[in-house]
Chains A and B, each alone.
Chain A
Amino acid sequence: MTDPSGPREIAAFALMAAGVGFDLLGCVGLVRLPDVYNRLQAGTKCVTLGTFLLLLGVILLSGLDAMGWKALLCLAFLSVTSPTAAHAIARAAHRSGVPLAPGSVLDRYAEDGEGREGPEPAGGPSGDAGEGRP
Chain B
Amino acid sequence: MRTAAAALLCWIAWIASTGALDPVGLAAGAAASAAAALALRREGAEAGLVLLHPVRLFWALVYLPVLLAFIVRSNLDVARRVIDPRLPIRPGIAKARTTLRSLPARAALANSVTLTPGTMSVDLVGDVLYVHRIWVPEEDPDGATRRELEPFEGLLRRIFE
A residues at B contact (CB < 8 Å) = 22, 25-26, 28-29, 32-35, 37-38, 40-42, 44-46, 48-49, 52, 66, 69-70, 73, 79-80, 83-84, 86-87, 90-91, 94, 100-101, 103-110, 112, 114, 130, 134
Contacts and interface: CB of A to CB of B under 8 A. Distances in A.
Nearest to A25: B79
Could you tell me the dominant secondary structure of chain B's interface residues?
mixed
Contacts of B92: 100, 104-107, 130, 134
Contacts of A44: 114-115, 120
Interface residues of B, number: 42
Contacts of A69: 16-17
A51 to B, nearest CB: 11
21 contacts: A22-B75, A25-B78, A29-B81, A38-B134, A45-B74, A46-B75, A49-B74, A49-B75, A66-B17, A80-B111, A83-B115, A86-B114, A90-B122, A94-B123, A104-B91, A106-B133, A108-B130, A109-B93, A109-B123, A112-B95, A114-B123
